[in-house]
Structure 1
Amino acid sequence: MPNPATKTLAQQLRWQLILAGIAFSIAILVSLTFITWRSVEFAADSVFKMEVHNLLKQIEHDPNLALPDDKTFQAYRDWDSIPPKLRQTFSLADIENNQVYENEFINKTGQNTYVSLVHLTDKNRQPLYFLSVYDVKETNEIVDSILSNLFTDALWLLIFIFFLLFCLVFWLLKRTNEPMKLLSDWAFKLRDNDHLSKEEFPIAELNDLAAQLKAGVDRITEYNIREQQFLKHASHEMRTPLATIQACLDTLDFQLTGPEKKTVQRALKASSNMNRLSSALLWLARESEKPIEKTKVELKSFCSHQIEEHQYLLKHRDIAIDAKVDDECIDLEEELLLIVFANLLRNACQFTSQGTIKVSMDVASLRIENPVDDGLNDSVSSYQSFGLGLQLVSRICEKLNWSFCFKEHPHYVEVSVTWKKY
């Protein structure tokens, strides 16, 4: 079952690009604000300097030119001529030539005022002091207007960027999904046809991935073929000695009449079980989907016979078997049902130290419950810990489309096989 938190490549790319676009937009907005603020300051200083240098040329051309002394722009030939209110906002010792200095002070009317000062010398090396005076409120209104226009322009710019980002995301996802879809379709076909030739994809990395996937499938296929061949050969090889053992035991069973006869009969039962197991392994190893022949199975007699067959596992042990079986007859693969039932019951007997094993069987399912000690919980945490028995049950159920379920409870273990679904 896939992890709910797992996202597709398209989803991951979409969110990554959107987050990148948001971060990029914020960076643009901050940068524009900073650049605009610096540009306003630079423009104000540049205009002030242009005005100052233009006036300086006029003064050099006409030394007797009257210096301006209006509300916003003033010029003085010596430091002491500057009004004290303006002069005290600067320190003469810190002033350098052709540099703009800015300060803020409160004028006579009580309003905050910006004052800028530039010190220059004319061609006769006579000092000149130029001052630009502006009301703080008016200046801030101008700056706010500029910033407002900036934010409006930035908003349109961000909308344009998001539109481009949306188009880019759509294009990238489409371009990314096309080869991934080809790889997914090819891998899906590979599941049903392991001899499918490797397809050439437009992206080199996908070709590498497809090659590794094909190599992995080929290895698994080769392993499965070897396993099937081994099971076939092993099952065939077991048939001859099993047939010999069965014949010898039949002869002994016919000849013996004393207590030894019971031992021979147990050996006969074990030999029959081995024959059935060999047939089941051979059937599981076949690639053919030909169904096993079904026969009439009387549930009560079938269950009673199997419980009787396993009574030897309960000798000298405080264990009882409680069976509840429907008195019905069903069409089922009896040989395979026998292997399934025998393995489940044998495991229940082996892993029960004391108590009652509950067996219930009806026309649709088989269920076996057996108590377990707390110390055995680790050993029954997975049906794989039981070895070949339950793995064989699982494989048989899988091939017959039966449902096999193993559940571990605090004080008992429950296994069930369902062959009929309503």
Structure 2
Amino acid sequence: MRNGLSLKWVISGSFLCLIAVVLVIYSKLLPEFTVRGLFYTASAMMEEEAQYFVRHYKQDPTTPTPHNYFYTSVIGKEALPQDVRELLSTSPSLSFGAVNIFGDLYSDDDDEPFQIILEQPLGDGKTLYMYDIDHDKEAGGEVETPLSDAYFDQVIESVKFISLAVFVPALIIIALLVWWLVRPLGRLVQWSGTLKDPEALTGTRPGFSFKEFNMLADALAKSVEQVQAASQREGRLLRYTSHELRTPLAVLKANIELLALQSGGVLPPSLQRIERSVLNMQLIAETLLWMSRERPESLPEEDVNLSEVVGELIEKHRYLIGNRDIKLSIDIHNEPCRLPPTACRIVIGNFLRNALQYAEEGTVDISFKYPRLVIANYINEAKPRQESDDYGYGLGLQLMRQLCAKLGWQIEVLREQQRFTVILDFTSVRDTPPADGAPGAC
């Protein structure tokens, strides 16, 4: 998948991250609970021994205090070693069961061992203190236990093996699950790319293993079919409309020419308005017919002098000014440009006609310096309920947008307070695309 993450990698990565988190938590909690298990064993042994001593002490106060390799005991705090008495004056690091633990439990420094101390009241005001013995400071050091250490190492290796045995099968299962889920999704994506062909819609749709994918494929095929049907209806409407309009327009144009000949070449104002309307309708019909083609051929280009074209169009549409006090400010360079002349007349004529028709009294600015033609006019303030920025331009501007999109030209519409500006850029977007976010780009 280009420009994005693949679904199978997202799913598999998520599962692997989940397993990794579980294993990390497991590895962190295992030493913690192992140490707590050892403390529980020590607490249970010392508490049981202390309770056993209390039972015999009540019968015979001369009963000797418990003593073995792991811990020893004394009666009274004064009988404790100096270091143990100092620990009792501090707060314990952990209280676990019947014992208090002093010192750093997780330190790797052997010079800072922890101390386990149990305090057991004897009932006669005295207290039995039981504490573990540090054999490292004795001559010969601590007694080695190779058999027990070997067993413990074997248990740790078993734990590691179990962790690996969980991770590897889980990875394989996840890979198979992702393949099982993503494979039909990939087939669905591949099949959806063929829906632009009408035969793919009429043919048999492949199965995608899962009911949800099949439902999605049905909805996608139905949606594409509706879009294609709407596009075909729109194309037929454009073709039929333009074809049906061309015949009556040709009849009107021919009869107007006959009337002009009969009247000595000068038509009355009413017939002049009809002539101009017929010409505008003829241009629109030709535009619709050209736009309705699925693959419109490239229009022939010629050296066009936009100064002459704009001058002719101004004279043709000057009647739109009427009695309004409108002045034209024209600044057009005379250099010829390689452009399709018919398309230029249609687009520029539409913009100029709208500018003269909807302009308020003032100046209509028309300027051209290749490749940008700018037409600006003053308008009334639009009411708040008007949502369109194409104030006064309506369908004509929408048609021009589509026409320019097919030609590769760019249209930019600006509305600043009471000024409406249309900028036509003849630079083809196929050759020099506009910057991202440029408004009005075709």
Indicate the TM-score class for this superposition, using the shorter chain for normalisation: 0.5 to 0.7
Give the unaligned 5+ runs of structure 2: 57-62, 80-84, 86-96, 103-113, 137-141, 143-148, 433-442
Whether 2:256 is the aligned partner of 1:249: answer yes
Q: CA deviation at 1:11?
A: 6.1
Paired residues for 1:189-268 under 5 Å:
189-191=194-196, 193=198, 195-196=200-201, 197=203, 198-256=205-263, 261-268=268-275
Give me the whole-angstrom Cα distance separating, in 2, the residues matched to 1:319 and 1:35: 92
Q: Partner of 1:398 in structure 2?
A: 405
Whether 2:374 is the aligned partner of 1:368: answer yes
Q: Partner of 2:191 in structure 1?
A: 186
Q: Partner of 2:347 in structure 1?
A: 340
Q: Partner of 1:356 in structure 2?
A: 364
Q: Partner of 2:422 in structure 1?
A: 414
- Aligned match for 2:37, one of 23, 27, 39: 39
Q: Residue by residue, what CA displacement relative to the aligned partner does 1:47-84 show, whole Å, maximum 9, x if unpaired?
A: 558879999xxx9xxxxxx9674365679xxxxxx824
Conserved? CA contact 2:404–2:411, under 8 Å: no
- TM-score, structure 2 as length reference: 0.64
Paired residues for 1:136-155 under 5 Å:
none
User: Between the two proteins, what is the percent identity of the paired residues?
Assistant: 20
After superposition, the Cα gap between the structure-2 partners of 1:412 and 1:386, relative to the gap in structure 1 and judged at 3 Å, is closer
Q: Residue by residue, what CA displacement relative to the aligned partner does 1:254-278 show, whole Å, maximum 9, x if unpaired?
A: 3336986244233212202212211
Tell me which amino acid in the other structure corresponds to 2:224: V
Give me the whole-angstrom Cα distance separating, in 2, the residues matched to 1:175 and 1:131: 66
Q: Partner of 1:134 in structure 2?
A: 132
Whether 2:84 is the aligned partner of 1:83: answer no
Q: CA deviation at 1:176?
A: 5.0
Q: Partner of 1:126 in structure 2?
A: none
RMSD, matched Cα = 4.9
Tell me which amino acid in the other structure corresponds to 1:291: E
Tell me which amino acid in the other structure corresponds to 1:115: L
Q: Partner of 2:67 in structure 1?
A: 70
Whether 2:320 is the aligned partner of 1:313: answer yes
Give me the whole-angstrom Cα distance separating, in 2, the residues matched to 1:331 and 1:416: 13
After superposition, the Cα gap between the structure-2 partners of 1:391 and 1:409, relative to the gap in structure 1 and judged at 3 Å, is closer
Conserved? CA contact 1:326–1:361, under 8 Å: no
Q: CA deviation at 1:319?
A: 3.5
Conserved? CA contact 1:114–1:135, under 8 Å: no
After superposition, the Cα gap between the structure-2 partners of 1:407 and 1:153, relative to the gap in structure 1 and judged at 3 Å, is farther
Give me the whole-angstrom Cα distance separating, in 1, the residues matched to 2:5 and 2:260: 67
Give me the whole-angstrom Cα distance separating, in 1, the residues matched to 2:215 and 2:327: 60
Q: Partner of 2:435 in structure 1?
A: none
**3-state DSSP of counterpart to 2:206:** coil
Give the unaligned 5+ runs of structure 1: 60-65, 76-81, 90-99, 106-110, 120-128
Aligned pairs, number = 367
Conserved? CA contact 1:357–1:371, under 8 Å: yes
- TM-score, structure 1 as length reference: 0.67
